A and B are shown apart, each in its own frame.
Chain A
Amino acid sequence: MPLNKKLQKFSATVRSVELGTGDKTTTLGGSNTYPFYTFDNPTTNTAKIGIEISDLGLAEEPDCMKEFYAGCETVVDMAKKAVTVEGADFLVLKLIGGDPNGENKSIEELVETAKSVADAVDFPLVVEGCKNVEKDSQLLPKVAEALQGKNVLLMSAKEENYKNIGAAAGLAYDQLLGAESAVDINLAKQLNVLIKQLGVDVGKVVMNVGSAAAGYGFDYCISTLDRVKGAALGQSDDSLLMPIITPVADETWSVKEASASEEDVPEWGSVVERAIDMEITTAVACLSCGSDAVILKHPTSIAAVASMIKALV
């Protein structure tokens, strides 16, 4: 009997969001099938990869990253090197130093760092805050203001601070806005509704619906991705048709499989290989469950994930 292929067609399409300006832009989203289901419909846009650096430079980075960025004296030097990595579509600058429980850098200093990075590289840029809700609600609007005209993505507005960050990024300074919820599909939708009610153009919103390292509550994470994508496409839900970006490196590099030294657990083998494997495994699972973009750290991981994306579409 001949195989009768039944295609799964959705009437909705995930919105395409363009990051960056001029020749150097990259597009997030734009698909109208489940991830990599090219047999249902040829994919018009592929998943994208961001490479992350932080304002803390190399101070807290593992040895393998210190090796890769060897010779870089400043964050700007690192940024220049990062954007040359094969497979990276955009740069992610994390302003971790702003954390009041950490270095507690001033907003002025962090904005200066963001500006110097944005000026130094001609590449699509994402700026992440320090993850402290109050500090980010002051910091990210200032970054949005300083980087006007660069069309950067600011991550992230949460339920607690979406008004400040949303008004600055989405209304006053015409940047892209990240909406972050933590593995809660109902909140993911709710936050998008609230941001829309604020007056922000939903075509400029990207979601982070939560992330985890593989093996660390990861089933909740991927089921959230899967259900958000399913509701967005299957129910043509306008409040969920934003592209999804998932910060992967943030989660994977700190777990023990990626960080325990070879002296402590010789039977686990090379720590660099473990860390890279963890990063690749997590990223691939996120992409196959609905992420339109992932944020990674190591060039080897980026090359591997980029080649997988290329092979599948």
Chain B
Amino acid sequence: MAKFITIGERLSTTAPAVNKAFLARDPEPILARAKQQLEAGATYLDVNIGPAEGYGEDLMKWAVQLLQSNFDNVPLALDTSNKAAIEAGISVYNRAKGKPIVNSADAAGRIENIDLAAANDAIVIALCNGEGIAADNDERMGYCQMLLERGMEHGMDVNEDMWFDPLFLVIKGMQDKQMDVLNFIGDLTDMGLKTTGGLSNNSNGMPKHIRPIMDSAMVAMAMMKGMTSAIVNPNDLRLMETIKSCDIIRNETLYADSYLEI
């Protein structure tokens, strides 16, 4: 295994300030958020431009070049349902610090994003769901197999370049399903597969002061199950400290008294 990989989630059109900056091609708010995330220890940055119909290609190219030229070719996850925009982003992407991540494919309408990743030697986040949320782990595993087969058909290194997302579920409302998700991560780990996912889904709807606590507990339990990566808010200090501590316990990095500072 290796050190846990964090993908910073704060460059997303769901944040009004980011959305506005993307639309206006205003670099400052984008660079400021990117800097905060990288200084907090993010490995990858997610670039979520939304569907961006009609202007996605131009916008993704602009965002990729802006971020990579300012932050030493920072590796990026290209996050949009707009396939042409992802391809445009990859066309200007510098791989010096890591392959681009296609975010994301699923076992339904977005399965072709696996083909896209394979054709462009990219990593793909493969969501283990079809239409709607899987009812149980048998169903999740069925989707996983479909995704795996698709990757293999297209010649992907499925153990390295397909990162499977079990889909974290909201605790408020789906509390009884949480151990299923964690056990599924364990199953994927046993198959030698890499895993990632939008961690903070689990704490959706909880009070602001609770979320870092719940997210930290969830990431620790997921890392115990072998999880290799997550899409997170790297500026959540408690969460990042938990991840660093778990990496020490998993013996992925050598302990030193200042381990939280590096």
Q: Which residues of A contact B (CB under 8 A)?
A: 185-187, 189-190, 193-194, 197, 231, 235, 237, 239-240
Contact = CB atoms under 8 A, between A and B. Distances in A.
B261 A239 contact: no
B256 A189 contact: yes
B252 A186 contact: no
A186 B254 contact: yes
Contacts of B252: 235
Tell me the interface secondary structure of chain B in the complex. loop
A197 B254 contact: no
14 contacts: A185-B254, A186-B254, A186-B256, A186-B257, A189-B254, A190-B256, A190-B257, A190-B258, A193-B258, A197-B258, A235-B3, A237-B253, A239-B256, A239-B262
Can you list the 10 inter-chain pairs with the closest CB atoms, starting with the nearest? A190-B256, A189-B256, A231-B254, A193-B258, A190-B257, A186-B255, A189-B254, A186-B256, A193-B256, A235-B253
Pick the most buried of B252, B254, B258, B261: most chain A CB atoms within 10 A of its CB: B254
Nearest to A185: B254
Nearest to B255: A186
A231 B259 CA distance: 14
Contacts of A185: 254
A193 B254 contact: no
Contacts of A193: 256, 258, 261-262
Contacts of B3: 235
A187 B262 CA distance: 15
A102 to B, nearest CB: 33
A185 B255 CA distance: 8
A4 to B, nearest CB: 19
A185 B256 CA distance: 8
Contacts of A240: 254
A240 B262 CA distance: 12
Contacts of B256: 186-187, 189-190, 193, 239
Contacts of A237: 253-254
A231 B254 CA distance: 7
A21 B179 CA distance: 62
A194 B258 CA distance: 8
A194 B256 CA distance: 10
Interface in B202-260: 252-258
Contacts of A194: 258
A213 B252 CA distance: 31
A194 B261 CA distance: 10
Nearest to B258: A193
Nearest to B254: A231
B96 to A, nearest CB: 13
Given A186-B257, A231-B253, A235-B2, 10 more contacts: A185-B254, A186-B254, A193-B256, A193-B258, A193-B261, A235-B254, A237-B253, A237-B254, A239-B262, A240-B254
Contacts of A187: 256
A197 B257 contact: no
B3 to A, nearest CB: 7
Contacts of B255: 186, 189
B1 to A, nearest CB: 10
Interface string B1-12: 011000000000
Contacts of B261: 193, 197
A135 B252 CA distance: 39
A237 B258 CA distance: 14
Contacts of A190: 256-258
A11 to B, nearest CB: 10
A237 B255 CA distance: 11
A223 to B, nearest CB: 14
A51 to B, nearest CB: 33
A190 B253 CA distance: 12
B118 to A, nearest CB: 23
A26 B256 CA distance: 31
Contacts of A197: 258, 261
B182 to A, nearest CB: 26
Nearest to A187: B256
A186 B262 CA distance: 14
Contacts of B258: 190, 193-194, 197
B71 to A, nearest CB: 17
A237 B248 CA distance: 13
A26 B258 CA distance: 32
A56 B252 CA distance: 46
A189 B256 CA distance: 6
B41 to A, nearest CB: 13
B235 to A, nearest CB: 21
Interface in B17-35: none
